[in-house]
Structure 1
């Protein structure tokens, strides 16, 4: 996930720090790989992989996985994680809006909360379709306008305009209407308003993890005075307290994170 202007991303985004957030968001990747019904030996592309959650989940299912991202540091963490798990990934520093792959290469194209941040949604949607085989499927999970992730960005943007609002891309990719518009006449779209459960030590600790490790939150706090920084912490605690959905068997707090999960099937001529 991205949010800050490019010149500031290198300063506040750090892949190793971000992994502390990504670890908690892995249930979305598992849900999407389940929805894609991945089969062993299938050729799978993970778009905007970040530190590799979805790519590694697909590799664990014995797929042949290629993963792309525009952040080399994120790809480095994904590679290290793959080595730690003894999994094979092909990693490429490619832009989702212009992928130098031949057409009809992949059986499944997946993206877990990443592709929605592409600056040109139409170009990105066209590329996903181009590289997906006519008999394949595209499976995306996106944070919708009412998701806690989108609301978090709005909280940060209100305090620090250097953190971008993501309402537009959340409406484009995170609603059924937006997805139907993106793929109109080119694919069928089966979109479901859904959710994943994310386990965190506590709401308070989750807010601390975000403020210390999530690039946009770090940026907003760095650009704020002490009282405003304290307000950011409190706003995030309040936001995620509203998402609490009981306690996990591990004893961790369980957060309900709304998202749109969609299967896109290319139309054959």
Structure 2
């Protein structure tokens, strides 16, 4: 049985992992996902919007570009700093606040929309995180999520990592957030409607080696995994990722375009 202390310890390790490297190098390439989610949620000028586990602020920027009053949150302060840099560069407005997705420091019924792109899915306690998203929503508010599916390219990357570094025992996989059954289990009781759409994001790099170089240097979980492995296992992981990338590459030789499925989820709260 997983105890609260176990979950707190896992959260601390996750926070360290996401703070390592520089997620913003990868995160900015995903901006189109935030734009699509903002449109799917039909955001309106002056709406109060919360971005949860915002990373470097893709959904934050998307909402701010549509005139929303945005509060951007993450438990890694350095990522919020990156988001703030982007907001200032575009002369937009947003508030940035360090916050735990499982214990949001906001009153009930505070927001017209709550967004998370590839963020809240990594919380250790799925039910608690989902309940927090619902709690801070006003009646009729929208919860908009983008979650990698288990079979997606990124889902397979995490499976590859799991072959070398065992995932925590007794903790639900983040990829469950990319399944309709789990989403309905988490939200159906509080939802007037749930719309789930399969989307695809294309990772575009020079080659498999280029992708691995970028993710090994900057993407926290991959960065930490390679750092923790002895040389022989690190080489084996690199080989596994190279094979996966080349299998999924839909570009001509000399370039890399790898699609990764995700679910775009729009929940209207009761």
Give the drift of 1:246. Answer: 3.6
1:231 aligned onto 2:231: no
Question: Does structure 2 conserve the Cα–Cα contact (< 8 Å) formed by 1:104 and 1:133?
Answer: yes
CA distance in 1, matches of 2:164, 2:261: 24
1:178 to 179, 182, 191: 182
Aligned to 1:65: 70
**Matches of 1:252 and 1:266 in 2, distance apart?**
43
What is the correspondence of 1:240-255 to structure 2 with a 5 Å cutoff? 240-246=245-251, 253-255=256-258
Aligned pairs (5 A) from 1:10-49 = 12-14=17-19, 17-49=22-54
* Equivalent residue, structure 2, for 1:257: 260
Shift of 1:66: 0.7
State the Cα RMSD in Å: 2.5
Q: Could you tell me whether the CA contact under 8 Å between 1:157 and 1:165 is conserved in 2?
A: no
Pair 1:74 & 2:79 matched: yes
Output the CA distance in 1 between the equivalents of 2:264 and 2:154. Answer: 15
Give the alignment partner of residue 156 of structure 1, picking from 158, 161, 164.
161
Distance (whole Å) between structure 2 residues aligned to residue 164 and residue 68 of structure 1: 28
Aligned residue for 1:67, secondary structure, equals strand
- Return the offset for 1:22: 0.9
* 1:106 equivalenced with 2:111 (yes/no): yes
- Measure, in 2, the Cα distance between the counterparts of 1:255 and 1:14: 26
Q: Report the TM-score when normalising by structure 1.
A: 0.86
Aligned residues of 2:124 and 2:171 also touching (Cα < 8 A): no
Judged with a 3 Å threshold, the aligned counterparts in structure 2 of structure 1 residues 239 and 191 are, in CA distance, closer, same or farther, namely same
Pair 1:239–1:193, CA change in 2 (3 A): same
Using the size of structure 2 for normalisation, the TM-score is 0.86
Does the Cα contact within 8 Å between 1:27 and 1:197 map onto a contact in 2? no
List runs of 5+ in structure 2 lacking aligned partners: 1-8
Length, aligned pairs only: 260
How far off its partner does 1:162 sit? Answer: 6.8
Aligned to 2:5: none
Give the superposition deviation at 1:204.
2.4
Q: Distance in 1 between matches of 2:265 and 2:248?
A: 22
Match for residue 197 of structure 2 among 192, 207, 219: 192
Does structure 1 conserve the Cα–Cα contact (< 8 Å) formed by 2:117 and 2:147?
A: yes
